[in-house]
């Protein structure tokens, strides 16, 4: 077991377990309906349809079995909670699997952070209901913004456990990675700022919020276009370098002959 968890040699490709990558992808995919239902809760204003913060995961099934009438509002709110439990279970399995089979320590710790974040998000959802009389929809705003970070982390783990990540890592030099990383982080910051601004528009009375939100959207689009252009430029440079190396290799072979 100790040999399995040993860090790989620098420059040596990491053989990720395919099933682990598939489970990480499924965990991220199951988060999508959770986010959509959470957005619907805000859109329809049904966050307080059930004033009890915690219910059993099988609560909806129990009500259906008892023949209780279920309104659309109740289905949206408790559908959101049910997917929350599902994502939590998937994340637990993912983290345990990472700590047993994943050789990279930083990926294992990222999984642990993801599990803690999912748990924290669940607690925020409960407190948003229990403390509604005291804090209003402030916790709902925080709950919505933090959800995007949790989703981004789960998607990142799905990426890090895939073979494509190793291809990207080994296919670019240090300077290219640094430039692309800096601009990528800038773009991510702009996108998350746009998400936070949109949350304020939906949850709070923010003067001129909709107009600022729209203007910032143009900035995000411009940043994405520039990032795509930068990546394309680096691909062309890499292709030229490979062609140049191939030419030099052929010249050396001709000299030897």
Measured distance CA(84)–CA(128) in Å, rounded: 15
Q: State the chain's mean pLDDT as an integer.
A: 84
Tokens of 230: 């930068």
- pTM of the predicted protein model: 0.81
Q: Which pLDDT score is estimated for 206?
A: 75
Q: Which residues of the chain have pLDDT under 70?
A: 1-16, 166-177, 240-257
* Sequential DSSP letters for 50-86: S--S---TTHHHHHHHTT----HHHHHHHHHHHHHHH
Measured distance CA(94)–CA(89) in Å, rounded: 9
Measured distance CA(127)–CA(219) in Å, rounded: 35
Q: Which pLDDT score is estimated for 175?
A: 63
Q: Which pLDDT score is estimated for 232?
A: 83
Q: Which pLDDT score is estimated for 130?
A: 92
**How far apart, in Å, do the first and last CA atoms of the chain sit?**
50
Measured distance CA(224)–CA(4) in Å, rounded: 39
74: CB partners within 8 A, 6+ apart: 46, 49, 50
Instruction: Measure Cα distances from 135 to 19, 63, 131 in Å.
Output: 43, 30, 6
Kindly report, residue by residue over 63-75, the tens digit of the pLDDT.
Answer: 888 888 889 999 9
């Amino acid at each position: 077991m100790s040999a399995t968890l040993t860090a790989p040699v620098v420059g040596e490709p990491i053989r990720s377990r395919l099933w682990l990558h598939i489970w990480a992808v499924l965990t991220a995919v199951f988060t999508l309906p959770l986010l959509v239902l959470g957005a619907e809760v805000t859109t329809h204003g049904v966050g307080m349809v059930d004033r009890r913060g915690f219910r059993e995961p099988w609560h909806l099934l129990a009500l259906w079995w008892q023949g209780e009438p279920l309104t659309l509002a109740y289905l949206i709110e408790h559908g959101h909670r049910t997917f929350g439990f599902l994502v939590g279970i998937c994340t637990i399995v993912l983290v345990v699997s990472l700590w047993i089979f994943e050789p990279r320590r930083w990926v294992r710790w990222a999984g642990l952070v993801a599990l803690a974040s999912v748990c924290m998000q669940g607690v925020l959802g409960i407190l948003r209901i229990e403390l509604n009389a005291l804090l209003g929809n402030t916790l709902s705003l925080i709950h919505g913004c933090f959800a995007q970070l949790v989703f981004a982390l789960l998607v990142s783990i799905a990426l890090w456990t895939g073979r494509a990540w190793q291809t990207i890592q080994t296919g670019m030099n240090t300077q290219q990675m640094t430039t692309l990383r800096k601009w990528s982080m800038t773009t991510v910051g702009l996108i998350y700022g746009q998400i936070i601004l949109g949350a304020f528009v939906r949850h709070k009375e923010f003067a001129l919020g909709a107009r600022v939100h729209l203007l910032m959207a143009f900035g995000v689009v411009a940043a994405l276009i520039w990032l795509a252009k930068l990546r394309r430029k680096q691909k062309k440079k890499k292709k030229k370098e490979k062609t140049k190396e191939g030419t030099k290799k052929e010249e050396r072979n001709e000299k030897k002959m």
